[in-house]
C-alpha cells in the first residue's frame, strides 16, 4: 500500500522507528511533533545528530566515546591510571560514574564472550587491555561486565588471564538497596548468599 | 489467546529493545520454543534473574499471532547457581546449552533430550572444582553421545559401516555412519579412528550420564568429541562452537 505521507516525512518516520523503544506509531507521533515545532528546534536536533556523527570516534585508550583522541575520563589527569574498570559497552560507564565511587579509568571491551553467538576473545578488545596493563603499570582490574552468563564467562576469562600480574576484583552481585528479600529472584538471592561477607 | 503452561530450561537470552528479552527455551513437550519476556531487563524486574541460561522454570506463556510466545510468569524449579561458580562450570554449561539449541528441533516432543539436558546441568552444577580441570568435560561429551542416540545417529562401531565386515576398524566416516575397515578406508576420505575414543563413546552410550567421568579418559576425550562433531555436521549440518576452549 502506498504511504499517505510525503516521502520526506515517510523517511523521517522510518528512521525514528529504528530507534530502540520506538515503534511505528510512536515514530509517527514524534515526526508530527517535530513538524509542529518552530523550525529552529528540529534543526538543532538535526545539527546535534550530525555533530555526533562527524565528531565522535572511539577513545584511543579505552574505546569509549571521544571527540579527538581521548575521552573526558582518559583526558582527566586526576583519574588514577593504575586502576581500570572493564565494561562491556560505553553505556555502562555512565552508570558507574553516577555512583561517584570510582576514580580510576575504564576499558570498553565491545561486548562479552559468547561462543554460541560467535563472539570469541579475539572479537573483544582484550589485547588492547593487555597492552594498557603493561604500559600504565595497572595494579587493579575491576571487572564490571554484566551479571549474565556471557558477562560472567568474560569476567572469569579475564581474571584467569591477568590474576598472576595484578589484583582482580569483580562488582558484587546481590540485592537492590531498599528491596524486600521476599521479592528477590532465586538466582540473585542465591548468589547474594554465596557472596555474603563478614560484618 | 491460548495459555501454555510447561516446565522449561532457558537455553539463551537475547537483549531485545529497551528492556525486553527474547528467550530460547527447551521444553519436554514442545522441544525448542521462543518467548518474549517484556521488561525482563529492567533492574526492578523480578524475572531478570530467573531468565538466565541454565535456569529451570515452570512457566506460563501466551500464544500470539506468530511463533513467538509472550511470557506471563515464571517460577524457578532449579536456579543452577552452582553453574556460575567458576569458569570451567560456566563453559561446560554453555556447551550443554548450545548442543540443545543446535540439535533439538522446534515444536516436537522432546522429553528424552529435556531430561538429558536438565540432568547434565544438575551434574555440572554439583561438580567439585578442580585445580586443573580437563579441556573437555565428560558430562558434555556424555550429552553429545546421548543426543546422537536420541537423534538416531549412533555411529556403527561394532562392524564396518561401509561393508558390514568385522573389525578391526581403522577409520571413521561420518558419511558411511561409523567406523570403516582397512579395505573400505582406502579412498573414502575417512579420518583415522582412535580405538580408545570408540570404546569411550560406546561406554558413554551404555552408562548413565552420572558415570561419564569414569567412561571417558582425558586421552580419549578429543576423539569422542571429534566423532560427535563429524556426525552432527554430516547428518544435521550442525557445527558446535562452544566446545572450543576459550
Which pLDDT score, from 0 to 100, does residue B246 have?
34
Highest mean pLDDT among A21-30, A78-87, A180-189: A78-87
Task: Report angle CA B84, B246, B204 to the nearest 5 degrees.
Answer: 75
**Quick one: A40 and A97 in the same domain?**
no
Looking at the structure, tell me whether residues A86 and A170 fall in a common domain: yes
| Interface predicted TM-score (ipTM) of this complex, two decimals | 0.72
- Find the CATH number of the domain harbouring A140: 3.40.1360.10
Inside any domain, residue A26: yes
Residue A22 and residue A118 in one domain = no
Mean pLDDT of A132-138: 93
% pLDDT > 70, chain A: 98
Asked which of A16-25, A180-189, B101-110, B213-222 is least confident by mean pLDDT, the reply is A180-189
Is there a single domain that holds both residue A117 and residue A143?
yes
Q: Which domains does chain B have, with CATH numbers?
A: 3-80 (2.40.50.140), 154-246 (no CATH)
Residue A2: which pLDDT band, with cuts at 50, 70 and 90? low
Provide, as residue numbers in chain B, all residues whose Cβ is less than 8 Å from the Cβ of A157. Answer: 87, 246
Q: How far is CA A116 from CA A33, A126, A190, B141, B197, in A?
A: 43, 19, 26, 17, 25
Average pLDDT, 10 consecutive residues per value, chain B (246 residues)? 91 87 95 92 78 93 86 91 83 92 91 96 87 81 94 91 91 93 88 92 95 93 92 89 51
Q: Which residues, other chains included, contact B229 with Cβ-Cβ below 8 Å and sequence gap of 6+?
A: B239, B240, B243
- Whether residue A39 sits in one domain with residue A15: yes
3-state secondary structure of A72: helix
Cβ-defined contact of A115 to B54 (cutoff 8 Å): no
C-alpha B175/C-alpha B53 separation (Å) is 34
Same domain, A179 and A145: yes
**Whether residue A80 sits in one domain with residue A43:** no
CATH number, position A25: 1.10.8.420
Out of B86, B94, B246, closest to residue A149 by CB: B94
Structural domain count of chain A: 2
> Is position A11 within any domain?
yes
User: Does A155 lie in the same domain as A185?
Assistant: yes
Which residues of A fall within a CB distance of 8 Å from B97? 116
Task: Report the number of secondary-structure helices (H) and strands (E) in chain B.
Answer: 7, 8
Q: Which of B52, B89, B132 to mutate to test the interface with A (most CBs of A within 10 A)?
A: B52
A146 domain-assigned: yes
Count of A-B CB contacts under 8 Å: 79
* One domain, residues A123 and A181: yes
**Same structural domain, A102 and A190:** yes
Query: How is residue A71 written as a grid cell?
Result: 575521552
Co-location of A51 and A146 in the same domain: no
* Cβ pair B98:A115 closer than 8 A: yes
Cα separation of A37 and B43, whole Å? 35
Task: Express each pLDDT in A60-84 by its tens digit.
Answer: 999 999 999 999 999 999 999 999 9
A83 and A177 assigned to the same domain: yes
Contact map slice: A 94-133 vs B, CB within 8 A: 113, 115-116, 118, 120-121
The verdict on residue A64 lying in a domain is: no
Interface touch A187/B12, C-beta < 8 Å = no
Give the tens place of pLDDT for each residue, A158-176.
Answer: 998 998 999 999 998 877 7
Residue of A nearest to B74 (CA): A185
Measure B133 CA to nearest chain A CA, in Å.
Answer: 13
Residue A99 lies in a domain: yes
Q: What is the pLDDT of residue A48?
A: 96
Instruction: Give domain status of residue A66, yes or no.
Output: no
For residue B168, cis peptide bond before it (omega within 30 degrees of 0): yes
B54 vs A190: CB contact, 8 Å cut-off? no
Q: Which domain holds residue A11?
A: 7-56
Amino acid at each position: 500500500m502506498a504511504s499517505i505521507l510525503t516521502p520526506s516525512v515517510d523517511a523521517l518516520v522510518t528512521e525514528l522507528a529504528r530507534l530502540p523503544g520506538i515503534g511505528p506509531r510512536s515514530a509517527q507521533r514524534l515526526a508530527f511533533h517535530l513538524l509542529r515545532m518552530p523550525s529552529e528546534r528540529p534543526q538543532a536536533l538535526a545539527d546535534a545528530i550530525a555533530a555526533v556523527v562527524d565528531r565522535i570516534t572511539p577513545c584511543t585508550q579505552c574505546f569509549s566515546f571521544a571527540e579527538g583522541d581521548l575521552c573526558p575520563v582518559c583526558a582527566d589527569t586526576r583519574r588514577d591510571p593504575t586502576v581500570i574498570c572493564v565494561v562491556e559497552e560505553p553505556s555502562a560507564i555512565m552508570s558507574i560514574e553516577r555512583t561517584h565511587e570510582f576514580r580510576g579509568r575504564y576499558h570498553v571491551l565491545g561486548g562479552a564472550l559468547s561462543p554460541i553467538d560467535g563472539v570469541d576473545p579475539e572479537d573483544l578488545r582484550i589485547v588492547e587491555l593487555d597492552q594498557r596493563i603493561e604500559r600504565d603499570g595497572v595494579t587493579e582490574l575491576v571487572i564490571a561486565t554484566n551479571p549474565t552468563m556471557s558477562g560472567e564467562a568474560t569476567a572469569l576469562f579475564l581474571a584467569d588471564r591477568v590474576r598472576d600480574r595484578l589484583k582482580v576484583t569483580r562488582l558484587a552481585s546481590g540485592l537492590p538497596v531498599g528491596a524486600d528479600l521476599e521479592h528477590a529472584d532465586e538466582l540473585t538471592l542465591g548468589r547474594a548468599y554465596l557472596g555474603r561477607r563478614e560484618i | 489467546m491460548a495459555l501454555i503452561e510447561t516446565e522449561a530450561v532457558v537455553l539463551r537470552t537475547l537483549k531485545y529493545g529497551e528492556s525486553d528479552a527474547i528467550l530460547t527455551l527447551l521444553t519436554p513437550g514442545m522441544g525448542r520454543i521462543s518467548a518474549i519476556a517484556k521488561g525482563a531487563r529492567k533492574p526492578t524486574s523480578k524475572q531478570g534473574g530467573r531468565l538466565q541460561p541454565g535456569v529451570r522454570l515452570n512457566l506460563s506463556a501466551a500464544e500470539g499471532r506468530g511463533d513467538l510466545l509472550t511470557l506471563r510468569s515464571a517460577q524457578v524449579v532449579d536456579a543452577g547457581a552452582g553453574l556460575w561458580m567458576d569458569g570451567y562450570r560456566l563453559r561446560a554449561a554453555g556447551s550443554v546449552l548450545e548442543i540443545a539449541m543446535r540439535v533439538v528441533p522446534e515444536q516436537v516432543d522432546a522429553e528424552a533430550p529435556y531430561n538429558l539436558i536438565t540432568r547434565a546441568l544438575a551434574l555440572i552444577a554439583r561438580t567439585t572444582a578442580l585445580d586443573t580441570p580437563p579441556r573437555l568435560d565428560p558430562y558434555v561429551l556424555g550429552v553429545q553421545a546421548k543426543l546422537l542416540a536420541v537423534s538416531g545417529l549412533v555411529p556403527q562401531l561394532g562392524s564396518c559401516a561401509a561393508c558390514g565386515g568385522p573389525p578391526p576398524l581403522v577409520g571413521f566416516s561420518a558419511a558411511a555412519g561409523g567406523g570403516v575397515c582397512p579395505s573400505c578406508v582406502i579412498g573414502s576420505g575417512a579420518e583415522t579412528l582412535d580405538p580408545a575414543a570408540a570404546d569411550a563413546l560406546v561406554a558413554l552410550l551404555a552408562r548413565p550420564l552420572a558415570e561419564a567421568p569414569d567412561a571417558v579418559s582425558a586421552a580419549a576425550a578429543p576423539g569422542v568429541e571429534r566423532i560427535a562433531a563429524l556426525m552432527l555436521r554430516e547428518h544435521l549440518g550442525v557445527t558446535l562452537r562452544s566446545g572450543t576452549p576459550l
